[in-house]
Amino acid sequence: MLIKGDLMKNLLAILLISSGVFAAKTQKKSLDSKVKAQVINVLEKNEDLHEAFFSYNAEKVEEAAEAVEDAIEKIEHPELAKLLKFSKEKLDEIDDDKSREENNKAYHLVSMALIHVKNTYDLGDKYAAFSCPMVKKKWIQSKEKYNKVMNPYDASMPHCGSMDD
């Protein structure tokens, strides 16, 4: 039978081990400064795309999508390039002649990939993932630039959603 001191030691050991395992699972991969700057550039270009979707100007949406695609092309990291290959295809599909709904679907898929990159690599704290349960879509936005949710998918609920991380 355990006495109180042993029980406390065992509980403390379990707590320390479990917190160490949790910390190990949440640690992000580091990137060299050049590649990190290239990925941050993609996120900065994505800010323009996010804003174009928020106010929904189809021409600006297409232009901003092209700028994000160009920024992705400049990433010199094989793993990241592979992760974002599908995103480049989806960005290429965004067109001012398509419906907002079609463009929203493509943007959501791009956003999911960018969220995965943000959650996998250490890119700082400027950007966060957001989601709206009403439209069932996610996006990345700057936490520094906006102090509220800026839902790019539905003009009827511009501030619906929450920060996921």
Residue 57's pLDDT is 95
Would 139 be classed as within a structural domain? no
Q: Is residue 118 part of a domain?
A: yes
Res 23: pLDDT: 46
For residue 130, which of 102, 154, 110, 152 has the smallest C-alpha distance? 152
**What is the structure's pLDDT at 17?**
56
Is the residue at 27 inside a domain?
no
Q: What is the DSSP string of 106-143?
A: HHHHHHHHHHHHHHHB---SSEEEEEETTTTEEEEEET
Task: Give the whole-angstrom CA distance, residue 78 versus residue 82.
Answer: 6
Token digits of residue 15: 């707590």
As given in the structure block, the two tokens for residue 49 are 């795309």
Contact call for residues 71 and 91 (beta carbons, < 8 A): no
Which pLDDT score, from 0 to 100, does residue 165 have?
75
160 in any annotated domain:
no
pLDDT beyond 60 at 89: yes
pLDDT band at 19 (very low <50, low <70, confident <90, very high): very low
Classify residue 136: in a domain, yes or no: no
Helix axes 33-55, 100-120, angle to 10 degrees: 150
41-65 pLDDT, tens digit per residue, is 999 999 999 999 999 999 999 999 9
On whether residue 69 sits in a domain, the answer given is: yes
Give the domain range for residue 53: 33-125
pLDDT of residue 10: 54
| Mean pLDDT confidence for 158-164 | 94
Helix axes 100-120, 85-93, angle to 10 degrees: 160
β-sheet bridge partners, residue 132: 137
Q: Which letter, b or e, does each residue of 55-75 get, where b requires 16 or more Cβ atoms within 10 Å of its Cβ?
A: eeebebbbebbebbbebbeeb
**To which residue do tokens 């295809």 refer?**
89
Structural domain includes residue 16: no
| Average pLDDT, integer, range 114-136 | 96
Examine residue 146 and state whether it is found in any structural domain, yes or no: no
Number of domain units in the chain: 1
Confidence of residue 36 (pLDDT cuts 50, 70, 90): very high
Looking at per-residue confidence, does 93 or 26 come out higher? 93
pTM: 0.82
Give 7's pLDDT tier (boundaries 50, 70, 90): low
Query: CA 50, CA 64: separation in Å to the nearest integer?
Result: 9
